[in-house]
């Protein structure tokens, strides 16, 4: 009964219609324990392998489907160390060719127990064995899963193992309806690993969706052993291949079985970005875009929802902008109530005619439903243009919109084109983005950037000392510093002066070009006797920030305007 308890616990992880399914599975206890028919696999055609269950398990069979399963297996002269693929939970005939959308399991015919193999390879294991599953698609390694720890009731007894690869969402419902499929206590492998976060079926379907395009492919699966500390198998003890055909229907079925965030959009679900021009030249007016969606943002989050529910009055969308495949900006837009639940059209300025309104949260390009406070696209594009990061000529500017449920990780750690290319975009559009000398000069000449305004008196010395400092290393050159004419003195609880601070605006040069960072903290430590030490920056000058991290306090500027 221990096996049944484990099986029930594993099945309880299933989120879809869990309560209804478990009600039907209560009767599985007796049927599983009475279905432990021993299979003649792995130690010769006429010899029974040591496939007995634990001492508490019955070896009689009352399940009608078991005998036919056993007989069909016996008809195949299975080779030791070879894997056999099948498209039903229990094999009734192995396959040499399958469709990519078929349910797919692989039976690893080991020939000996895992403990025997562990001993053969000198692994330190007397009770448990540590298995690995490695999958190759068209000869290229797709992933290795493991190590998986196999308890002694499997590793010391069973000479084969069934591994699920592609499983339909109604798998648990089918088992609840036909419990005779629960063949042996070895089936616990299937249940334990179907519903873990990084299980083999999720890894397989993810790889297959990304790598198996139309046509025919070769799938190879290896089962190997290692030790508990291993990250890769140290010995491969079984492997097999199968041909996989891919067509539109199969791809759709595969996507339905895979992770939700990989499910493709249908044509009537796709949105569109409409630019005010399909060929824009920087400096020649404003570049703006309209996002039109056939459904409100909430619809898409519900489609790819990873949680038990996403039925809220608020949610997020993700946006990604690139030029020539190089990341420019990525950000999340928090939407509430009607903007989230019913609005289907959004507008934004990608690049203004000029940068008038720098530092102003209410500037037309900074005030928008899709970002709060400052436009991540405008400042990034201005930085790339002013800093010479975009050469003269024609470029391709692409913008994509995603459901936040579709992007599985924090994009600040995955800020590259290849990462976003993995996920289905709700809307995606590319236009020509031209850079000319005349257009760039127009932008620079109309820029609102200007030289810093310096205070007089004692502040001149403060500015000069800060300007002469270089706290960032050779990659940073401080061009100008202008402190604000107010010190804030800090004391301790006894009223003793500790230091004083003020703010300064700094223009600097870095690898990206010239920038203005506003209101950087400046500090002078108190030396006693009414005197203070030399001023220094008490805040980092963010010269290493890429274009995507700029905003109203950290601005790209053209050198001719601020020098």
Residue 384 has pLDDT above 90, yes or no: yes
How far is it, in rounded angstroms, from Cα 328 to Cα 41? Answer: 58
Residues whose CB is less than 8 angstroms from the CB of residue 155 and which lie 6 or more positions away in sequence, other chains included: 113, 114, 115, 118, 125, 127, 128, 129
Report pLDDT for 193: 62
φ/ψ region of 76 (left if φ > 0, alpha if ψ in -120 to 50, else beta) reads: beta
Residue 196: the pLDDT is: 66
Map out the domains of the chain as residue ranges.
2-258, 262-445, 458-562
Residue 38 reports pLDDT greater than 50: no
Average pLDDT of span 484-510: 93
pLDDT tens digits for 206-220? 999 989 988 999 999
The pTM (predicted TM-score) of the whole model is 0.67
Q: For residue 26, is pLDDT > 60? A: no
Per-residue pLDDT at 53 exceeds 80: no
Produce one character per residue of 334-347: b if its CB has 16 or more CB atoms within 10 Å, e if not.
Answer: ebeeebbbeeeebe
Q: Please tell me the predicted confidence (pLDDT) of residue 321.
A: 95
Angle at CA of residue 252, ends 196 and 11, nearest 5°: 25
CATH number of 262-445: 2.60.40.1930
What does the pLDDT read at residue 43?
34
pLDDT at 60: 29
* pLDDT for residue 17: 31
pLDDT of 41? 32
Confidence at 154, pLDDT banded by 50, 70, 90: confident
Q: Mean pLDDT, to the nearest integer, of 157-177?
A: 85
- For the chain, the average pLDDT equals 82
Q: With pLDDT > 70 as the criterion, what percentage of the chain qualifies?
A: 81
Complete DSSP assignment for 97-120:
EEETTS-EEEEEE-SS-HHHHHHH
User: Is residue 359 within 8 Å of 552, Cβ to Cβ?
Assistant: yes
Does residue 44 have a pLDDT over 50?
Answer: no
- pLDDT(183) > 80: no
Q: Model confidence over 224-235: pLDDT tens digits?
A: 999 888 889 999
The band of 189, judged by pLDDT with boundaries at 50, 70 and 90, is: low
The string of pLDDT tens digits covering residues 414-455 is: 788 888 887 889 999 999 999 999 999 999 999 999 999 999
The pLDDT value recorded for residue 507 is 95
- CA distance linking residue 7 with residue 185, whole number of Å: 9
Which element (helix H / strand E) includes 476? none
Label residue 412 by pLDDT band (50, 70, 90).
low
Interval 11-22: pLDDT, tens: 433 333 332 322
């Amino acid at each position: 009964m221990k096996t049944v308890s484990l099986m029930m616990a594993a099945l309880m992880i299933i989120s879809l219609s869990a309560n209804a399914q478990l009600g039907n599975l209560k009767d599985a206890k007796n049927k599983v324990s009475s279905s432990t028919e021993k299979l003649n696999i792995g130690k010769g055609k006429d010899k029974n392998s040591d496939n007995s269950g634990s001492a508490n398990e019955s070896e009689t069979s009352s399940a009608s489907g078991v005998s036919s399963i056993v007989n069909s297996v016996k008809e195949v002269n299975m080779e030791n160390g070879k894997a056999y693929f099948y498209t039903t939970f229990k094999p009734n005939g192995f396959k040499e060719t399958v469709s990519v959308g078929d349910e797919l399991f692989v039976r690893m015919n080991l020939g000996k127990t895992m403990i025997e193999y562990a001993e053969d390879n000198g692994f330190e294991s007397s009770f448990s064995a540590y298995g690995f599953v490695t999958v190759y698609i068209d000869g290229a390694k797709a992933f290795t899963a493991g190590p998986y720890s196999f308890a002694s009731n499997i590793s010391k007894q069973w000479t084969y193992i069934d591994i699920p690869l592609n499983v339909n969402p109604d798998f648990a419902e089918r088992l609840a309806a036909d419990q005779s499929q629960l063949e042996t206590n070895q089936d616990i492998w299937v249940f334990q690993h179907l519903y873990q976060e990084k299980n083999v079926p999720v890894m397989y379907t993810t790889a297959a969706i990304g790598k198996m395009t139309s046509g025919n492919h070769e799938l190879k699966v290896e089962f190997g052993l290692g030790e508990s500390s291993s990250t890769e198998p140290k010995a491969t003890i079984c492997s097999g291949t199968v041909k996989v055909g891919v067509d539109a229907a199969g791809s759709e079925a595969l996507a339905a079985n895979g992770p939700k965030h990989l499910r493709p959009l249908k044509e009537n679900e796709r949105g569109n970005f409409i630019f005010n021009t399909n060929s824009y030249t920087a400096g020649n007016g404003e570049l703006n875009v309209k996002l039109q969606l056939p459904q409100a943002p909430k619809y898409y989050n519900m489609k790819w929802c990873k949680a038990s529910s996403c039925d809220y009055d608020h949610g997020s969308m993700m946006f990604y902008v690139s030029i020539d495949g190089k990341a420019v900006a990525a950000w999340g837009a928090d939407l509430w109530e009607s903007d989230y639940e019913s609005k289907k059209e959004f507008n934004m300025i990608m690049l203004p005619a000029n940068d008038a309104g720098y530092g102003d949260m209410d500037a037309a390009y900074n005030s928008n439903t899709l970002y709060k406070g400052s436009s991540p696209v405008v400042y990034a594009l201005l930085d790339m243009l002013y800093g010479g990061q975009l050469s003269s000529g024609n470029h391709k500017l692409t913008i994509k919109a995603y459901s936040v449920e579709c992007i599985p990780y924090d994009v600040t750690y995955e800020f590259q084109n290849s990462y976003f290319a993995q996920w289905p975009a709700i809307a995606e559009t590319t236009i020509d983005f031209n850079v000319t000398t005349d257009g760039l000069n127009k932008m620079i000449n109309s820029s609102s950037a200007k030289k810093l305004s310096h205070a007089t008196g004692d502040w001149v010395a403060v500015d000069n000392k800060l300007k002469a400092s270089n706290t960032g290393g050779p990659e940073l050159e401080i061009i100008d510093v202008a402190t604000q004419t107010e010190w804030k003195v800090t004391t301790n609880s006894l009223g003793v002066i500790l230091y004083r601070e003020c703010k300064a605006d700094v223009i600097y040069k870095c690898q990206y070009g010239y920038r203005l960072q506003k209101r950087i903290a400046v500090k002078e430590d108190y030396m006693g006797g009414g005197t203070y030490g030399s001023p220094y920056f008490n805040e980092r000058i963010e010269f290493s920030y890429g274009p995507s991290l700029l905003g109203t306090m950290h601005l790209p500027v053209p050198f001719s305007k601020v020098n």
